[in-house]
Amino acid sequence: MSSSSTKRDAYEVLGVARDADESTIKKAFRKLARELHPDVNAHDPQAEEKFKEAAEAYEILSDAERRATYDRYGHEGLRAGGAAPNFDGFGSISDLFDAFFGGGGFGGGRGGPAPGGDVAVEIEIDLADAFAGVKRPIAVEIVGRCETCNGNGAKPGTPIRTCDRCGGAGRLQAVSRTPFGQVVRTVECDTCAGDGRIAEQPCEQCEGLGREMHRSELEVDIPAGIADGQRIRLGGRGHQGDAGAPSGDLYVLVSVAPHERFLRDGDDLVTVLDVPAPLAALGTSMDVDAIDGPATFSIPAGTQPGEVITVRGRGMPVLRRPGRQGDLRAMVNVVVPRRLTKDQKRLVEELAATITDDNLRSDETMVGKLRRLMGHR
């Protein structure tokens, strides 16, 4: 630690005002400690010194007598009176955290049997399956109970004895001396790895672990309305935990294959409707094969290119909300006929000769037309 003449102000270290109350000081210290936790700052060689500085500031400001002395005389006053905190006796930053937050470090213990890991698998479905919902079989490799030893880690027919070191508790108490006195920590037994029992002869199949890799086959219920990239969580279907700890979860990542005619926009389905120019001018109705059957679009007379026509309630089901669906939207593509016959050319020429400014008048601004034609709403 730096000398007292170069120590930073304790209030500055914790980022609190000089009139901060005890609760504010404690909250600021815990926030700073979380940021300096060794699990987060393994890459920072200065993390230990930074935490010592924060711990020293907290020790000063959390004690009314020390704080009063510090406010009047600063670090020199504490040192002269023998009240200056000293953290040089700690063996490591983990011991520092244990002293302040209890065994296992900040924010909860790290000891005890480890829970099983999560497993992820990906499955692809098409848009029709996403629309209707579907059940799909999957196969995953997971760590589960050894079937040879039934999970106890011992060779069948051989005894299992209680661990002599921990007396079957699976945990040990370690005592450390600190400036605050003795600190007692609970740690996993290093002989039985927290199980509390030891097999006289380890199982040859799992090498005494009590677990082995299994191929698991199950059926996944994919709900109607699921979107590409969403995942389904199956609790407790992942890898088995250590010594009775809970198993991990199985996550099924759903990939929805692109559809040739429809794009998904939230719960809506979007498609393109090719409308011949004469019909767009006259108005008509057109049928489209939607995901769930025919849908009829009413094309008003004078429909322009890029306009969107909507059929309500014919889009994708809303996930987890039975009976609700998005909309089916069609962007109109006005198709100008090509390769006209003589009779068709004559009819078009006759029509063109009758077109007036009144037929072409629109309340739409030039910018509005540009936005529509460029696909902006």
pLDDT, one tens digit per residue, over 60-103 is 888 888 888 888 878 887 776 666 665 554 445 555 555 555 44
**138, 220 in Cβ contact below 8 A?**
yes
Q: Domain boundary residue among 233, 258, 283? A: 258
At residue 6 the predicted structure's pLDDT band, cuts being 50, 70 and 90, is confident
> Same domain for 363 and 293?
yes
Q: Domain ends where: 78, 101, 124?
A: 101
What is the C-alpha separation between 25 and 30, in angstroms, rounded? 9
Range ranked top by mean pLDDT from 28-37, 207-216, 317-326: 317-326
Residue 277 has pLDDT above 70, yes or no: yes
State pTM to two decimals: 0.57
Q: Flag whether 165 is in a domain.
A: no
- Could you tell me if 100 and 55 are in contact, meaning their C-beta atoms sit under 8 angstroms apart? yes
Residue 179: inside a domain, yes or no?
no
Domain membership of residue 131 as a residue range = 111-147+210-258
Tell me, yes or no, whether 180 lies in a domain. Answer: no
CATH number assigned to the domain comprising residue 47: 1.10.287.110
For residues 218 and 330, state if they share a domain.
Answer: no
What's 365's domain CATH number? 2.60.260.20
Asked if residue 162 belongs to a domain, the reply is no
Same-domain pairing of 357 and 325: yes
Q: Alpha carbon of 57 to those of 28, 69, 178, 312: distances in Å? A: 11, 13, 17, 64
Q: Which residue has the tokens 């393994």?
A: 42
Work out the pLDDT band at 182, boundaries 50, 70, 90: low
Q: Does 183 reside within a domain?
A: no
- Same domain assignment for residues 140 and 231: yes
Report the alpha-carbon distance of residue 235 to residue 250 in Å, rounded: 6
Q: Does residue 249 share a domain with residue 117?
A: yes
- Residue 36 and residue 79 in one domain: yes
Query: Do 228 and 317 belong to one domain?
Result: no
Q: What is the mean pLDDT of residues 340-347?
A: 89
In contact, 2 and 87? CB cutoff 8 Å: no
Max Cα distance, the chain (Å):
112
Q: Is residue 28 part of a domain?
A: yes
Domain boundary among 258, 283, 318: 258
**Mean predicted confidence (pLDDT) in 172-197:** 68
What pLDDT was estimated at residue 128?
94
* 166 found inside a domain: no
Shared domain check, 133 and 219: yes
Q: Are residue 280 and residue 368 in the same domain, yes or no?
A: yes
User: Are residue 249 and residue 117 in the same domain, yes or no?
Assistant: yes
Mean pLDDT estimate for the chain = 81
Same domain, residue pair 51 and 128: no
pLDDT of residue 134: 93
pLDDT at res. 242:
72
* 186 within a domain of the structure (yes/no): no
* Number of structural domains the chain divides into: 3
pLDDT at 109 over 70: no
Judge if 276 and 367 occupy the same domain. Answer: yes
Average pLDDT over residues 259-279: 93
Residue 179 predicted with pLDDT over 50: no
**pLDDT for residue 89:** 47
